[in-house]
Structure 1
Amino acid sequence: MSNTYPQEVKDAAKFMWLRQVSPKEIADKLNLNSVRVLYQWADKGAWNAMLQHETVEQATSRRLIVLIEKPDKTDGDFKEIDKLSNLLDKLAGIEVRKAKAAKEKAQASQPNGGSGNPRRKKASSKNEVGEITAEALAEVRNELFFEYQHLWFANREHRTRFILKSRQIGATFYFAWEAFEDAILTGDNQIFLSASKAQAGVFKAYIMQFALKYFDVELKGGDCIELTKDGKPWAELRFVSTNSRTAQGYHGHLYFDEVFWTPDFEKLNKLASGMASQKKWRKTYFSTPSVKTHGAYAIWSGEKYNSRLKNKVKFDLTPEALAAGIVGRDKIWRNAVTVKDAERGGCDLFDIAELQDEYSKNEFENLFMCKFIEAGLSVFALSDLLGCAVDTSVTWVDFKRKELRPYGNNPVWIGYDPARVGDKSSVAVIAPPLKPGDKFRILEKLNLKGTFKYQASKIEELTHRYNVKFIGIDVTGPGLGVLDEVKVFFKQATGIHYGLESKTRLVLKAIDVISAGKIEWDAEHKEIPQAFLQVHQASTGSGQITYVADRTSETGHADVAWAIMHALSNEPLTGKRRKASVGF
């Protein structure tokens, strides 16, 4: 059947698929006989692999927002909304059965007892929340969250909270709920400050999901959702990225996401403090830790408060005090939730022993146990790395990530770093500068696992999407098999054999590019600076200096840094290279 359709139809289907239009909608718009042919095309063309640059949470959130804001929803739309909402719950660490129970209780508390089909009702006013009661909100909240999240709720009245957290314990999910509930009950404005529009969109999707899934209220709005009560303006929910210059003038309770991975923190914190300067507004900082030299650490440790005092005061930052939550002399409520704390608080989503096997000791301590990275060990400075992070949805106007050719016919370089035992291979797609003054840009990154042929096939798909001019592959170990497969379709692929000199050149080139701010990547990709921070000097048995990144059989999570360095190796240390060509 798939052969009966012209190539133009297939290309149109692929374009809509990559924009995450539902298969049924695509089939209807293109007059296809069945959605089965779409799945055949997607499987044969590996369309889903082309979406890997976007996190599952971001992709799910974006699709959910599109569906909720759709004016005339079908039954299929509502079913997809339910599925996506359940997926978001899972990603946030919420059990679907608990969410269903909460929804049933919330509906039972409504005046109509949840009978009929309330989703078909038209709200009396845009974004109307007047019928949502405090009792219904409490019912849902008590069902959805774990003990440590209830602790955050119990301490929500502190004017400033600073929370260190393990990754993937549902912090974004919880704080979206807290702000949603507070806005409905008090009419206070809420502001979410994130590294990028994509992450701010996750907050928005969660809030739209809460309103629709538990209270049958459809919320609409762009960077601002304006709630109404009894048809009158009530509260504003604003979603702002740290690269935005439009945040000044807003006022409300502020939620500052991943502060320890934010560049120019001091400058942004002044902006954030301005938005919450009045005594009625509260600030909540939450983040996984980075290094102690980051600007946010002075607030976390109390150093900033002590800098104004002659007689210094002591801040209790012991694990025991932080696990329970403690208020310092600066009136900031501090809390740290490790993965083990989360497990003790009812979160059964992690296999901690497996995580400890998968990650190196230092990485596990940083990502899951709220320990700061020792800045002096890395050859890269966090301030330099964070300075390379940008909101690509705003600044990369020539990169259309959902197009069939996201970067048109402009040249790109690819770096590949092979998997060791127990980890995944990494691929980085880098756009070199087209003219003097331009920067390198990391357009896409993939994690791969499978046979040499399978991984090579994923690289081949990239050559169809981009005008690839260079592929650099580490062939010191298992990468040799991938190189052989890649050379079948890209004969000029280059093998990189690790030695003292070659590894030094790779690292020095990356240091030069990063320290000079000559490279950019999406601010959401915190794993990139995390990976580069793992690279440090070490001595060989003969006393020579080399560079390592804890690349044992237990870890491969610095591999994206090496993949980027392999791509950058196409430009010598001098920075002089052949002029980039544009294919037609």
Structure 2
Amino acid sequence: MMKMNSPIPPEKPIYTQVQTCALGYYLRQYKTAEIAEALDIAPRTVQQWIAKFGWKQMRDDAPVELMLRQRIAYLLWVDQKHESQLKELETLLEQKYKRDAAERRRTTPKHSGGYVDEKRGRPSNKVKNDISCITAEMLADFREKTFFAYQKDIHAQKCNDELNEFRFYLKSRQIGLTYYFAFEAFEDAIINGDNQVFLSASRKQSEIFKNYIRKFALEIGDVELKGKDELQLSNGATLYFLSTNARTSQGFNGHVYFDEVFWIPKFGELDDYAGGMSIQSKYRTTYLSTPSTTAHEAYPKWTGDKSLGIDISHKALKKGSLGSDGIFRQIITIDDAIEGGATFFNMDKLRRKYPDKSVFNNLLRCVFLDDASSFFSIKSLLACKTDTDNWKDVDLESLHPVGRREVLVGYDPRGGGQGEGADDAGLIVSLKPIIKGGAFRFIERVRLKGSSYEDQAAAIEAICKKYNVVYLAIDVGGVGSAVAELVRKFYPGLTTLDYSPEMKRMMAYKAREIINAGRLQFDNEWDDLVHSFLMIRQHTTKMSNQITFVSARNKVGSHADLAWAAMHVLHWEPIDILRDDSTTVSFL
């Protein structure tokens, strides 16, 4: 029988499905902002749950080693890392190395032959980035058990002196070529002592190569590689990680890996720069990229001079072919990757995700978009890319990234304005131009898939709490009207856009005017926004013979949701923004 003064045991909390997911993320060391983004809820809500349910104590009681491994694994597979995530990963890898070293000292007898530094209690090793313990056999064993057949074929091409001077790989997305080439360069640096140079569209993209290489060193040889801008190995090899804004840098030389060449601006200029780094006869140059459009500056490099008659069909290049211009070319589609052993794709799911054949073929089957059919120019779009790390007034890790600065928000709930069958939705957040005719700076993009009206409205509300939103525009055609009805409850000043051929025409021309004038800026990593704009094409209606704009050939599930959301933002600016209507009166 319980005594009257006995404390009543607390009830076990009953979580909703969203709270359960949030707890799972939290125990895996996700940050509050990351949890909120993943679940489309406000960061403050997550913080309240942490305090209410005692999640911090629960996480603190978990094994440190398990949490460390989980967090490292999560950060390694984030393709587009923020600067803070890169710093965190570097710190965690260092902590992992120290813990492993301490464990080895604890379990290794002192008479095992190793010299122990009595002052510091660990084996003496004054050589920085000492990779002498990593052998060719260890690298070969790792390569054999890690990579698929199509990646091993590339390694064979690298070892063939007749093929490896210039290599150009056109690839599907997400087939692991960046991961493979990072290993190839790491292996080469260790075995041959050659320098390796990674040239990417942005510094953050080049850091992906660096993080992979650090992972290889830890996993293969238990070696922690240190270095901020470069990694200098104990055998004299140096690995450089550069962005495309490093055009004026001098003194770099080595094997060059030129990443995502079809998505960077001013390729010709950068290609000359890259060629200068690999001018020595022993160095090779490797280009790799997913396709963009036939109008990109790198496309002539891929096709070769017309007079040479180089066959660039998939049939001719599936296994790779050395052209008469000395460039070895290969196309690796998602089908080729699956045929070569890749087990992490579900083609039925991908076809549902990209029902438009042109989008599917461009993203996964290495088919270039025809720039002539797009209303927007890839050259002008790529010129909008910028290094947002230089935006000192924007901190995306903060609860309020731009403080009380005014922002504009555009939301397309219909997946590119193509009807209710689409399940993609896009949202763009832009800083309001400071001056008349100033630049639009896009600071955040959000994509929602298959979300309910309530979830879409909740995601928009989270944005409104995060920023000082002074303009919010939503397309109310199709499912948009239901979303708008919910949004208006917390944002009464909502601007609704009811698409008509005339309105879409006006939005498209206004957007092109701003883009061509260089008045739009967004992060170097936003290739998905570039691709989204390239899907917009001009179209003549059958019934009224009016010119309008569409974003999918079959009007089902286009990939242009971000572009339409962006055009909603740019629609904030009047058509005649640069017209001076001021009146001047003179007295003589």
Calculate the TM-score normalised by the size of structure 2.
0.78
SS in 2 for 1:488: helix
Aligned equivalents of 2:92, 2:318: Cα separation in 1:
43
CA contact (8 A) 2:206 2:242 kept: yes
Q: C-alpha displacement at 1:238, in angstroms?
A: 1.0
Aligned equivalents of 1:367, 1:15: Cα separation in 2:
29
Other-structure match for 2:584:
none
**AA paired with 2:573?**
E
Aligned equivalents of 1:404, 1:482: Cα separation in 2:
25
1:451 aligns with 2:473: no
Report 1:473-512 matches (<5 A): 473-512=474-513
- 1:494-515, CA deviations, whole angstroms, 9 ceiling, x for partnerless residues? 1100011111111011110111
**AA paired with 1:190?**
Q
Q: 1:196 and 1:70, CA in 2 relative to 1: closer, same or farther beyond 3 A? A: same
1:336 aligns with 2:331: yes
**AA paired with 1:274?**
G
Aligned equivalents of 2:388, 2:31: Cα separation in 1:
21
Other-structure match for 1:527:
528
CA contact (8 A) 1:358 1:554 kept: no
Aligned equivalents of 2:399, 2:195: Cα separation in 1:
40
SS in 1 for 2:408: strand
Q: 1:173 and 1:432, CA in 2 relative to 1: closer, same or farther beyond 3 A? A: same
Q: C-alpha displacement at 1:76, in angstroms?
A: 11
Other-structure match for 1:210:
216
Q: 1:221 and 1:350, CA in 2 relative to 1: closer, same or farther beyond 3 A? A: same
CA contact (8 A) 2:82 2:204 kept: no
**AA paired with 2:326?**
K
Q: 2:79 aligns with which of 46, 57, 63?
A: 57
- 1:554-576, CA deviations, whole angstroms, 9 ceiling, x for partnerless residues? 42321100000011111121226
Q: 2:376 aligns with which of 370, 380, 388?
A: 380
Q: C-alpha displacement at 1:348, in angstroms?
A: 2.0
CA contact (8 A) 2:170 2:330 kept: yes
Q: C-alpha displacement at 1:385, in angstroms?
A: 0.8
Aligned equivalents of 1:150, 1:16: Cα separation in 2:
37
Other-structure match for 2:432:
432
Other-structure match for 1:418:
413
1:186 aligns with 2:192: yes
Q: 2:88 aligns with which of 66, 78, 86?
A: 66
CA contact (8 A) 2:440 2:520 kept: yes
Q: 1:162 aligns with which of 162, 168, 184?
A: 168
1:347 aligns with 2:342: yes
**AA paired with 1:396?**
W
SS in 2 for 1:66: helix
Aligned equivalents of 2:571, 2:371: Cα separation in 1:
25
CA contact (8 A) 2:295 2:370 kept: no
**AA paired with 1:374?**
D
Other-structure match for 2:548:
546
CA contact (8 A) 1:68 1:208 kept: no
Other-structure match for 1:86:
none
Aligned equivalents of 2:522, 2:53: Cα separation in 1:
41
1:403 aligns with 2:398: yes
State, as a whole percentage, how many aligned pairs show the same letter. 40
Report 1:242-321 matches (<5 A): 242-245=244-247, 247-303=249-305, 312-321=307-316
Other-structure match for 1:45:
none
Q: C-alpha displacement at 1:270, in angstroms?
A: 1.1
1:442 aligns with 2:442: yes
Other-structure match for 2:469:
468
Aligned equivalents of 1:203, 1:136: Cα separation in 2:
20
Aligned equivalents of 1:255, 1:568: Cα separation in 2:
37
- 1:210-244, CA deviations, whole angstroms, 9 ceiling, x for partnerless residues? 11122211011112111114xxxx11111111123
Q: C-alpha displacement at 1:274, in angstroms?
A: 1.2
Aligned equivalents of 1:55, 1:573: Cα separation in 2:
43
Q: 1:150 and 1:74, CA in 2 relative to 1: closer, same or farther beyond 3 A? A: closer
Q: C-alpha displacement at 1:543, in angstroms?
A: 1.3
Q: C-alpha displacement at 1:140, in angstroms?
A: 0.2
Deviates further, 312-321 or 368-377: 312-321
Q: 1:248 and 1:439, CA in 2 relative to 1: closer, same or farther beyond 3 A? A: farther
CA contact (8 A) 1:293 1:375 kept: yes
**AA paired with 2:78?**
V
Q: 1:521 and 1:228, CA in 2 relative to 1: closer, same or farther beyond 3 A? A: same
CA contact (8 A) 1:123 1:217 kept: no
Q: 1:550 and 1:67, CA in 2 relative to 1: closer, same or farther beyond 3 A? A: closer
Other-structure match for 1:173:
179
> What are the ranges of 5 or more consecutive residues in structure 1 without an aligned counterpart?
2-13, 21-26, 40-53, 80-110, 113-119, 307-311, 578-584
Q: 1:123 and 1:414, CA in 2 relative to 1: closer, same or farther beyond 3 A? A: farther
CA contact (8 A) 1:183 1:190 kept: yes
Aligned equivalents of 2:245, 2:198: Cα separation in 1:
13
Q: 1:325 and 1:574, CA in 2 relative to 1: closer, same or farther beyond 3 A? A: same
> What are the ranges of 5 or more consecutive residues in structure 2 without an aligned counterpart?
1-9, 11-28, 36-46, 60-75, 102-111, 114-121, 415-419, 580-588
Q: C-alpha displacement at 1:441, in angstroms?
A: 1.2
Q: C-alpha displacement at 1:296, in angstroms?
A: 0.7
Q: 1:32 and 1:67, CA in 2 relative to 1: closer, same or farther beyond 3 A? A: farther
Aligned equivalents of 1:569, 1:353: Cα separation in 2:
37
Other-structure match for 1:97:
none
Q: 1:471 and 1:284, CA in 2 relative to 1: closer, same or farther beyond 3 A? A: same
CA contact (8 A) 2:97 2:224 kept: no
CA contact (8 A) 2:263 2:527 kept: yes
**AA paired with 1:297?**
Y
- 1:481-526, CA deviations, whole angstroms, 9 ceiling, x for partnerless residues? 1111111111101110001111111101111011111101112111
SS in 2 for 1:426: strand
CA contact (8 A) 2:134 2:220 kept: no
CA contact (8 A) 1:431 1:441 kept: yes
Q: 1:280 and 1:75, CA in 2 relative to 1: closer, same or farther beyond 3 A? A: closer
Deviates further, 554-563 or 326-335: 554-563
Other-structure match for 1:125:
127
Aligned equivalents of 1:455, 1:348: Cα separation in 2:
33
Q: C-alpha displacement at 1:278, in angstroms?
A: 1.6
1:198 aligns with 2:204: yes
SS in 2 for 1:188: coil
CA contact (8 A) 2:197 2:242 kept: yes
RMSD (Å), alpha carbons: 3.1
Aligned equivalents of 1:333, 1:74: Cα separation in 2:
40
CA contact (8 A) 2:406 2:467 kept: yes
Q: How many residues align?
A: 494
1:139 aligns with 2:136: no
Other-structure match for 1:561:
563
Report 1:106-121 matches (<5 A): none
- 1:419-446, CA deviations, whole angstroms, 9 ceiling, x for partnerless residues? 4435221111011221256411111000
Aligned equivalents of 2:205, 2:230: Cα separation in 1:
15
